[in-house]
Amino acid sequence: MRHLFAITFLAFFSYAQEPIKPTFASVFYQNDGKTYANKSLPIYISISTSPDGSDPIVLDTPANPLDGSPMYLDSEGVNYIRSKWAVDPETKKLSSPKREVLFPVHADGVAPVSGITFSGAPSYTSQGIDYYGKGLNYSLSSTDQISGVQSTFKSHDSDYTPYVSPLDVTTEGENTIHYFAVDNVGNTEETKSASFVLDLTPPVSNYILSDVYGDNILGPTFNIGLESTDNLSGVKFTYYTIDDMSQQVYGSPIDLSGLSDGPHTLRFFSVDNVENVESTKELMFYLDKINPETQLVVIGDQHEEKYYYVSSRTTFELPATDNKAGVAKTSFSVNNQDAQTYTTAFSLPNELGLHSITYNSEDNVRNVEKEETKTFFMDNKLPKTSIEYGEPQFFTRDTLFINQTTPITISPLDKHSGVQSTTTAVNGEVQAGNEFTIPTEGHKEIVFSSADMVNNQEENQTSRVYVDNTPPEIFINFSLDNIGTEDDLPVYPNYVRMFVGATDEKTGAKSIKYSINGGPMTEYSSPRTLDISEKNTFTESKVYDVEVETEDMLGNKSTKEHKFIVKN
């Protein structure tokens, strides 16, 4: 909900200056037989033989002269001036039972405590500032624990005057009330103040249209925003209703898509945080929810059978109508290309095959007609044939290598009338079928093409490949010549080392493995093992039977067996 606040005193509240505060003398006070003294007053004690206190003699304290002239009461509340024992005024003897003579004096050095209460109006507090609405009044109350409250004073943009009864506040804006109380012995309370804002003015609301056409014609994708401002306490809620719907609290732009097509009335108002209510406002609008309608008119050559056939001379027109806001534009797309704005008759591309025309219209309030697509056919496309090599295959040095087991697939395709025939030749010799292998080794040139059912003949396609059926050649060498033979086997000393290698003329050797005396095949010179030449393998005197296996990049394999004897 968009609420605008124009509160200039939000950060720094402007407090009204306190008027000159009256002063009050510190005094003695008697009430209900009790004597009260302002605790700050000096006290001089005198004696007299007369009830009216005439011809007094002021007493002092010879032992500590400064303690008695004057004397100050030390305790808040009751203090006593006393004689040790009371004397019977008739007999001039001690009274019985014995009792002290006590002269109570109530010391009061504490100022009254006053407070303020607001009533009669809604209230709201924000960022430490109190706001009140219409009907505000305030009352003051004061208490004093000893001598009692003499009077309470208040100032509201004026000099101090005694407070008597609750008072109304009617000045809109910033207000400050200063107040204090004084007790019966002249103790004066520190000034207190209450600052607040009186808000008597309702908020102001306006509507904001996301878009509009003509005389308040709106579309279902449009929305209506409500903007509310309040210069003091701020907007609390904005309410709205459309036609006879129940009242809603405004939170975000109003969605119109759920309304029916036709005229509508929006009513709205706002309430601020102290219940000032704005007068209801209205917006009358027309909601156009009906899409425009477009026709596709075919002009010229046309014939409808399995497909809707047209020629390069055929043209198309797109007339459109709309019920209320009027047609803004008509768009069309040929073969799902970028949409164009329709202005005049148009043609299809002169290409064999299916062609589509997708079209729709939009009115001036963004009602968009559902797209409609119609398909037409022009047939002048050639078939296409592709070749695919299976596994194994290996590509290197700009050459694709395969072997005699690699399957080759010729795939003809015609999207329209269909494939009639496919011709394939390998090095000039016709190859039967679309799936085959090439058994002979060497460079091969595969030429292939297809024709469709209406004799559109594809140009020859060529693919070149090399057929490699030859496995790598294995080499076995020793670190020294044999020292003799035995049973037609060479004999080597027990420190001999064997070296194994393999070469492949076309794709290179992929792996070399070996096995000793029927053991498991081991990768020769792999990252995880030492090769046979790097470890003392042939230290034991016996016959060794080493089998070596190698494989090239196409999986062509060869093996070699070598037997020899080791003697210590």
In the listed set 200, 228, 254, which residue is the last one of a domain according to the structure? Answer: 200
How many Å apart are CA 199 and CA 122, to the nearest integer? 10
State whether 23 and 121 are in the same domain. yes
State whether 512 and 557 are in the same domain. yes
Host domain of residue 15: 9-39+76-200
Is 1 contained in some domain? no
In the listed set 349, 378, 407, which residue is the last one of a domain according to the structure? Answer: 378
Whether pLDDT at 377 is above 80: yes
How many Å apart are CA 323 and CA 471, to the nearest integer? 81
State whether 93 and 232 are in the same domain. no
Phi-psi domain of 243 (left: phi exceeds 0; alpha: psi -120 through 50; beta: other): left
Is 453 contained in some domain? yes
- The reported pLDDT for the residue numbered 100 is 93
State whether 97 and 211 are in the same domain. no
Q: What DSSP character marks residue 356?
A: E
- The reported pLDDT for the residue numbered 383 is 82
pLDDT band at residue 252, thresholds of 50, 70 and 90? very high
- E-strand ranges in 383-521 read 384-389, 393-396, 399-402, 408-413, 419-426, 429-431, 435-436, 442-452, 461-467, 473-478, 484-486, 489-493, 498-503, 509-516
Mean pLDDT of the residues in the chain:
91
Is 163 contained in some domain? yes
pLDDT band at residue 66, thresholds of 50, 70 and 90? confident
Residue whose pair of structure tokens reads 């029916």 in the numeric block: 260
Phi-psi domain of 233 (left: phi exceeds 0; alpha: psi -120 through 50; beta: other): alpha
Other C-beta atoms lying within 10 Å of the C-beta of residue 537: 18
Residues 366-372, mean pLDDT to the nearest whole number:
96
In the listed set 255, 287, 319, which residue is the last one of a domain according to the structure? Answer: 287
pLDDT digit string (tens) for 494-542?
Answer: 999 999 999 999 999 999 999 999 999 988 875 555 556 666 788 899 9
440 CA to centre of own chain: 66
State whether 348 and 331 are in the same domain. yes
How many Å apart are CA 504 and CA 506, to the nearest integer? 6
pLDDT digit string (tens) for 262-298?
Answer: 999 999 999 999 999 999 999 999 999 999 999 999 8
- The reported pLDDT for the residue numbered 13 is 46
Q: Which amino acid is at 208?
A: I
**Residue 302 — φ and ψ, nearest 5°?**
-165, 145
CATH code for the domain of 247: 2.60.40.10
Here the tokens at position 165 are 């009864």
State whether 195 and 89 are in the same domain. yes
Residues 426-447, mean pLDDT to the nearest whole number:
96
- The reported pLDDT for the residue numbered 16 is 67
Mean pLDDT is lowest, of 4-13, 82-91, 248-257, 453-462, for 4-13
Is 511 contained in some domain? yes
State whether 19 and 134 are in the same domain. yes
- The reported pLDDT for the residue numbered 3 is 46
Question: What's the pTM value of the predicted model, to 2 decimals?
Answer: 0.56
Helix (H, G, I), strand (E, B), or coil: what is residue 35?
strand
Whether pLDDT at 166 is above 90: yes
pLDDT digit string (tens) for 398-421?
Answer: 999 999 999 999 999 977 767 879
CATH code for the domain of 395: 2.60.40
Residues 52-75, mean pLDDT to the nearest whole number:
88
Is 186 contained in some domain? yes
Number of domains in the chain: 5
Relative to beta strand 442-452, strand 461-467 is: antiparallel
State whether 389 and 454 are in the same domain. yes
- The reported pLDDT for the residue numbered 529 is 53
State whether 146 and 80 are in the same domain. yes
Residues 217-223, mean pLDDT to the nearest whole number:
95
pLDDT band at residue 452, thresholds of 50, 70 and 90? confident
Q: Give the contacts of 203 (CB within 8 A, at least 6 positions apart).
A: 228, 229, 230, 235, 238, 270, 271, 272, 276, 278
State whether 272 and 219 are in the same domain. yes
Here the tokens at position 71 are 């004397």
Closest CA relative to residue 382, chosen from 416, 349, 348, 411: 416
- The reported pLDDT for the residue numbered 454 is 60
Whether pLDDT at 67 is above 90: no
State whether 101 and 115 are in the same domain. yes
Is 71 contained in some domain? no
- The reported pLDDT for the residue numbered 4 is 42
Q: What DSSP character marks residue 318?
A: -
Is 14 contained in some domain? yes
Element (H, E) at 68: helix 65-68
Residue 31, Cβ density class (10 Å: 0-12 exposed, 13-18 middle, ≥19 buried): exposed
pLDDT band at residue 193, thresholds of 50, 70 and 90? very high
Is 61 contained in some domain? no
Mean pLDDT is lowest, of 376-380, 389-393, 411-415, for 376-380
- Pick the more confident residue, 308 or 546: 546
- The reported pLDDT for the residue numbered 8 is 37
State whether 422 and 359 are in the same domain. no
Residues 223-227, mean pLDDT to the nearest whole number:
97
